[in-house]
Amino acid sequence: MMVNENLLEQLKLILGDNVSIKESPKSEEDRRESLFIETISSLEHIWNVDNKLHEEYGIDLMGFTQHYYHVVENLIAMLFGYDKAEIIWWWVLERFDADGKLLGVETEDGKVHMLKTSQQLYKFLKKL
């Protein structure tokens, strides 16, 4: 960490005070996991904002955003396959019941998996 602090101080001298150092993941797998988590977080945010605008203000953006969702859905299916893509979309859109209770995903062996975070979702999908 000391090296990063020294590097940060040197960069601040050259570039100004608005410089920060963000360490990149060490392995390709770490990068894939970070990218997955960031993507899922963005999808959740977009979905929640779309729904909030519709529920609270009567603004329906689906006519506009459905094409973006379709593109993202296709890309996820290409990367993960249809079965995993279905789980991903379920997790983003439907993992909570009407009362806000977290629902689990059931595997073929009958085991129910409670996936609270996008990181848990990622690790679950890796095991399938």
Mean pLDDT of the chain: 89
What is the band of 1 on the pLDDT scale with cuts at 50, 70, 90? very low
What is the band of 70 on the pLDDT scale with cuts at 50, 70, 90? very high
Distance CA 11, CA 71 (A): 39
pLDDT of 35 reads: 94
Q: Which residues contact 43 (CB under 8 A, 6 or more apart)?
A: 72, 92
- Cα 24–Cα 28–Cα 30 angle in degrees, nearest 5: 60
- If you average pLDDT over residues 69-98, what whole number do you get? 96
Percent of the chain with pLDDT over 90: 71
- If you average pLDDT over residues 30-46, what whole number do you get? 94
